[in-house]
Amino acid sequence: MNRRNFINTSVLAGSSVLASGALASCGGKPKSKLSKSERTEKMQVAFDFFSRGPYNAPKVQMAKELGVKYAVAGVLNPRQLGLPEGTNSWDLESLQATVKAYEEQGLRFCVVEGPPTLGSRTKLALEGRDEEISNFIKFMHNLSKVGVKVICYNWMPEIGWFRTTNERESRGGSLVTGFDIEDATNLPINRLEREFSADEMWANLDYFMKAVVPEAEKAGVLLALHPDDPPIPMVRGISRILTSADNLERAINLYKSHVNGLTLCQGCCATMGEDIPATIKRFAGRFFFVHFRDVKGTRNNFEEVWHDDGITNMYAAMKTYYEIGFDGPIRPDHVPTMVGEDNSNPSYGLLGNLFAIGYMRGLMEAADEEVNG
């Protein structure tokens, strides 16, 4: 059975069927010609390309050598693509040029992570919110036209994912990021110099979903909401609401739809204290993208770790993805900075990704054997 036939016979209904059909254009070849990794990888193993995108020559070359065929990234800057002045990142021309740039490197651009025209105006209900949402809707429809069907977005305005250190020593002297609530309590308030309550953040998310999800249904685009990182009540005066599995459930139920789901970030869910295999089962069919990583500690005090050195049973997690029939994109996330690397881009070094892909492939091969025989 080739990959397309596997996708079309997925055991999941509803959103999984849509996700599979939307991503089937990534293609396949007869099983007899597949490598071992292609036979056992039921998911689309991807690299992130946040730094210089497809022009990051070492990472592109590493992807080719490792057999990683899928790319997760933002939309490239229209100026970087040589497009005319006035072209926006959400315009069709920008998306076509971005997809082409990856295709020229032998990569399939499958997930937009960090979409354009979705910022503080929308998330904090500031002036210009409706214009920003209108542009986001245009972006979704244009994205569908170029064959990219998954958008990973978050509800963490102004600050994004946050750590109190990027230089915590880990195994063998490698460097990881860490968070300690004690170091985050007396930080300056956000640039808007006011607090935003949890009720406001829920209302803003509800407003966004009611405007956007119906249009995502028309476009056939999957909205994959990322949990808050770290999952604490507030960062610099801005409340965080996606801090538990129950709250993630509440969020996607604001507008129930087969296109409205999650990015299952294992590290975030682990710091929440959630059991990862149980969380995977709970949201089966309602997540469209996976961040495969792990941590040590709790939501108030934790550090990133090597993929084989955290609190999660990573094999049990991988096996659960196979058991529920997940066949969407998955990427290693937040890797250590290793010997010979500078730490200018913490969590996104090359060598840590090399280890992570090898580790994931081993788990996949074993999980496929146990689940599928």
* Residue 186 buriedness (CB in 10 A; 0-12 / 13-18 / 19+): exposed
User: For residue 72, what are its two tokens?
Assistant: 């997760």
Q: How many CA atoms lie within 13 A of 284 on its CB side?
A: 16
Distances (CA, A) of 41 to 48, 79, 122, 219, 316: 18, 36, 37, 28, 16
Return the pLDDT at 81: 94
> Domains plus CATH for the chain?
3-372 (3.20.20.150)
Preceding peptide of 231 cis, ω within 30°: no
Return the pLDDT at 34: 66
Q: What is the pTM of this model?
A: 0.91
d(CA 358, CA 123): 37
* Residue 32 buriedness (CB in 10 A; 0-12 / 13-18 / 19+): exposed
**Amino acid occupying residue 297:** G
Q: What is the pLDDT along the chain (373 residues), one digit of tens a residue?
A: 443 333 333 333 344 434 444 444 443 344 456 677 777 788 999 999 998 899 999 999 999 999 999 999 999 999 999 999 999 999 999 999 999 999 999 999 999 999 999 999 999 999 999 999 999 999 999 999 999 999 999 999 999 999 999 999 999 999 999 999 999 988 999 999 999 999 999 999 999 999 999 999 999 999 999 999 999 999 999 999 999 999 999 999 999 999 999 999 999 999 999 999 999 999 999 999 999 999 999 999 999 999 999 999 999 999 999 999 999 999 999 999 999 999 999 999 999 999 999 999 999 999 999 999 8
Please state the separation of Cα 37 from the chain's center in Å: 22
Non-local (6+) Cβ contacts of 48 within 8 A are 72, 73, 113, 331, 333, 348
- 193 phi/psi in degrees, rounded to 5: 60, 40
d(CA 43, CA 320): 12
Distances (CA, A) of 31 to 35, 156, 266, 272, 348: 8, 42, 31, 40, 33
d(CA 201, CA 181): 21
d(CA 152, CA 291): 10
Helix, strand, coil tally for the chain in percent (to 5): 40, 15, 40
Return the pLDDT at 199: 98
